[in-house]
Amino acid sequence: MKTLERSHVIDEGRLFSEIDAAGQSPAEKALDIIDKARELRGLTTAEVAVLLKTDTPEVRETLYAAAIKVKAAIYGQRMVLFAPLYVTNECCNDCLYCAFRSSNKELIRKRLTMEEIAEEVRLLERMGHKRLLLVYGEGADDSIEYMLKTIETVYATRTGMGEIRRVNVNCAPRTAGDFRLLHEAGIGTFQIFQETYHRETYARMHPSGPKSDYDWRITAPDRAFEGGVDDLGIGPLFGLFDWRFEVMATVAHAQYLEDKLGVGPHTISMPRLEPALNAPVAEHPPHMVSDDDFRRIVCIFRLAVPYTGMILSTRESAEFRDELFRLGISQISAGSKTSPGAYKDATREHIMEQFTLGDHRTPDEIIHELCQAGHMPSFCTACYRQGRTGHDFMGLAKIGFIQDFCTPNAILTFKEYLLDYASPATRALGEKVLSEHVSRVLNTKVRRHLEKSLQEMEEGGRDIYM
C-alpha cells in the first residue's frame, strides 16, 4: 500500500533559509563550527550551511585538517571493500540519467537466472570479495520471491575458501512486509538513494513509472526499519540539483532517521553522475560538482555525521581517491561492473551497463595501491554476523569500542585475502602493512589474541573474527 500523504522528512523551506542566512556569516563562525565538530558530536543543518557557504583559504584548510582528524580517530586506516552485483537491468522507470530507463531501446535487457548469479558470485569470490551489493532495476514483474531466491543463491554459492558473508541490497522501495522477508533472508544494509531531495527536480528527473512518487521513495528506509532491516544506506546523486542543497538535505534525512528510529544511517553514498547510454541528463549534468567542491562535500559529511560510513565509487584518479580516503571515505567498491552478467562476459559491459565506469583495475591492483598509501584493506563482516547492527552498532561506535573490534577484524580479513587471493607482489607488500598495523594495536590483550588468530590462519584457519 503506497503512502498517499506528503512526507515531511525534508523541510525545503527551512533548508533554503538556512543556506540564505549562512551567506552572511563571518569566517570566524565557520572556524568555531569546525572546532566543535572535532569533538565528534556532529553538526546541525544550520552549521552545515555555514560551512557550505564559507570558503576562504583558511576555512578550507581548517576543514580538511579537521576531517582528517575525525576520520583517523574513528576509522583509523581501514578501508572496507565490496563489489556490486547487477542482477537485472529490466526497468519500468524512465529516470533521465540512467541507461536502464525504459525509453532506452538500444540497451539489451537481462535478468539473471540463479545459475548465472552463481557464476558471477564464484568469479567475485575468486577475487577475494566477501561483501556484495545486489543491484536491481525495477521490473514490471518485480516479485519479492525472485529477490529472495537471488539472495539465497548468493549465500549458498561457495568456491574453495570463498564465500559471501554479507549481502547488501540496492533496490526500489518496497513494503514493510517485503522488507521483513528480506531481513529474514539475511540482508545487511538496505541502500536507496533519493537521487535529488528537491521535489520539483525530482519530478522532472522521474517523469513516469512508480519511481515518480517522491514520498514513497523517501519513506522506504522507514519501512525497511519497520521490517527489521536496521542498517540503512542513503545518499543523493550529485549532478541533478545544487549540491549545497543536496548536502543539507542528506544531513537532514540522517537526522530525521536518528530522531525517529533512534539510529542514523549506517552509510551515506556520494555518487557523481557518470555518462550513461541514451541518458540525456548524465551526458550533461545540470549541476556538475567540481573536484574542489567534492573534497569539501566529503569533509562536511565527515564532520556532520562522524559515525556514518561513507561510500565512494572507484572512478576517481588514484591520487584524488587517496586524498578523499583521508578526508572521510570508509568504503569503496573494487573491480566493479554495472551490467548483469558482466563479471563472466565483459562484452556485456557496453551494451547492457547502467553507466560507464572510469576505473577498470582489478581488486588486487586497488588493494596494492591502498597498501602503498598505508591503508588497511578490510573485508570485515563481523558486526553484522554478531548482530551488532543498527542501534547496537552505533552504540558501540559512539563509545569508541569500534577500534577494538574493527581494527583486529580488518587485519584478520586482510590476512585471509593475502593467503588465498593476493598476487605475489600484493602479498609481499600486504604482509608488511599488516604487521605494522598489528604492532600499532595498543591493547596488549587484544594484540596477543590477534597474533594467535593470525597464526591459526597460517595453519589453515579461516573466518576468525572478534
- Residues contributing to the site for ligand SAM (CB under 6 A): 97-98, 135-138, 170-172, 192-193, 195, 237, 271, 273-274, 276, 279, 282, 354-355
Q: Do the strands 376-378 and 331-333 form a parallel or antiparallel pair, or are they unpaired?
A: unpaired
Sign of the dihedral defined by the CA atoms of residues 257, 219, 274, 282, in that order: negative
| Residue closest to 251 by CA, chosen among 230, 263, 234 | 234
Residues 122-161 that bind ligand SF4 (CB under 6 A): 137-138
Q: Quote the least distance from Cβ 393 to ligand SAM, whole Å.
A: 24
Say if residues 80 and 131 touch (Cβ distance below 8 Å).
Answer: yes
Comparison of 138 and 322: residue with beta carbon closer to ligand SAM: 138
Binding-site partner at residue 188 among ligand SF4, ligand SAM, none, CB < 5 to 8 Å by type = none
Comparison of 75 and 301: residue with beta carbon closer to ligand SAM: 301
Q: How far, in Å, CA of 236 to CA of 75, rounded?
A: 23
Q: Quote the least distance from Cβ 368 to ligand SAM, whole Å.
A: 26
Which residues does residue 47 pair with via DSSP β-bridges, in sequence order?
none
Cell of 402: 569500534
Q: Quote the least distance from Cβ 391 to ligand SAM, whole Å.
A: 25
Binding-site partner at residue 101 among ligand SAM, ligand SF4, none, CB < 5 to 8 Å by type = ligand SF4
Stretch that binds ligand SF4, among 34-42, 96-104, 238-246, 332-340 (CB under 6 A): 96-104
Residue 325 phi, psi dihedral angles, 5° rounding: -60, -45
100 sits near ligand SF4 (criterion: CB under 6 A): yes
DSSP code string of 383-437: HHHTT--HHHHHHHHHTTTHHHHHHHHHHHHHHHHHHHT--HHHHHHHHHHHHHH
Comparison of 44 and 175: residue with beta carbon closer to ligand SF4: 175
Residue 114 burial (10 A CB sphere; 0-12, 13-18, 19+): middle
Q: Quote the least distance from Cβ 239 to ligand SAM, whole Å.
A: 8
Residue 387 CB coordination number (10 Å): 9
- Give the binding-site size for ligand SF4 (rule: CB under 6 A): 9
Cell of 242: 545544487
Q: Quote the least distance from Cβ 137 to ligand SF4, whole Å.
A: 4
Binding-site partner at residue 171 among ligand SF4, ligand SAM, none, CB < 5 to 8 Å by type = ligand SAM
221 sits near ligand SF4 (criterion: CB under 6 A): no
Cell of 146: 525472485
Q: Quote the least distance from Cβ 140 to ligand SAM, whole Å.
A: 13
Q: How far, in Å, CA of 364 to CA of 253, rounded?
A: 36
Say if residues 198 and 241 touch (Cβ distance below 8 Å).
Answer: yes
211 sits near ligand SF4 (criterion: CB under 6 A): yes
Binding-site partner at residue 182 among ligand SF4, ligand SAM, none, CB < 5 to 8 Å by type = none
Binding-site partner at residue 286 among ligand SF4, ligand SAM, none, CB < 5 to 8 Å by type = none
